[in-house]
Amino acid sequence: MKTQIKFSNRTLTIDLSKPIDIAISLSGDDANPLAWYLSAPKITPVKEGDWIAKVSEGASINFNSIWFNPHAHGTHTECYGHISKEFYNVNKALNKYFFTAKLISVAPEKKGEDFVISKQQLKTLFSPGSCEALIIRTLPNLKSKKQKNYNHSNWPYLTESAATYIREAGVEHLLIDLPSVDKEKDDGLLKAHRAFWNYPKAPRKHATITELIYVPNKITDGDYLLNLQIAPFKNDASPSKPILYKTLAK
């Protein structure tokens, strides 16, 4: 079903019958990505004495409790409250849900013992003012990302200047297929987070970062419409479900 969506500076034509889900689903076992040194999430039925809230165990309903951390266990969206002294929740930050988006693929560059995404790389892949949301797919793009244990892996990350370029290019929503835009162990500096949100100088309260996405290889780089939905948690971060729609010629 084709439809047109109007933005302030352009009109996009998309096919609503062909959504592209780039979220990683959360399951109550080891079949999710893991980060920040936490164990796997748990999804377990409520128990009351001998009663187990599971239909296969004789109950009339399935009634599960879920233990997880949004930053560690799957696709999540966070706001500047993730790094601020003052409390700020992502449910307040995100009050618009459709954005012009650009998907780019980047092979991080070797820098000492690290792999980084640099400003120079990004400048060749997208230009200022070209999108409201930027989606970064890192290469190589293996399916194992969806179940990878990232603990102590020193994953690739954005340099401070790269994050600054993204902010100055007008990107309000940054999505990436890594546990963090920053280095795993950086002594709490969080330079890319701070640069993207312009914190603490002039925090961009409406801007978000979405981490631990997965974009299949069959999805080509280019322009999309992004629908970014979160669970309504009053927290600095929430599980999220980013959906892409390929933009079509009129």
Which pTM value belongs to this model?
A: 0.96
| Reported confidence tier of residue 177, pLDDT bands at 50, 70, 90 | very high
Whether the link from the prior residue into 216 is cis, omega within 30° of 0, is no
Convert the pLDDT of each residue in 14-35 to its tens digit.
999 999 999 999 999 888 899 9
Q: Which residues contact 214 (CB under 8 A, 6 or more apart)?
A: 22, 23, 24, 75, 145, 146, 177
Per-residue DSSP letters for 118-145? -HHHHHTT--TTS-SEEEEEESS--GGG
**Stretch among 28-32, 35-39, 233-237 having the lowest mean pLDDT:** 28-32
pLDDT of residue 223: 95
160/155 Cα distance (integer angstroms):
16
What domains appear along the chain, each with residue ranges and CATH number?
2-24+72-248 (3.50.30.50)
The answer on pLDDT for 54 being more than 80 is yes
The answer on pLDDT for 102 being more than 80 is yes
Q: Which residues, in sequence order, are bridge partners of residue 243?
A: 21, 227
Mean pLDDT of 141-146: 97
The answer on pLDDT for 201 being more than 70 is yes
Q: Which residues contact 232 (CB under 8 A, 6 or more apart)?
A: 91, 238
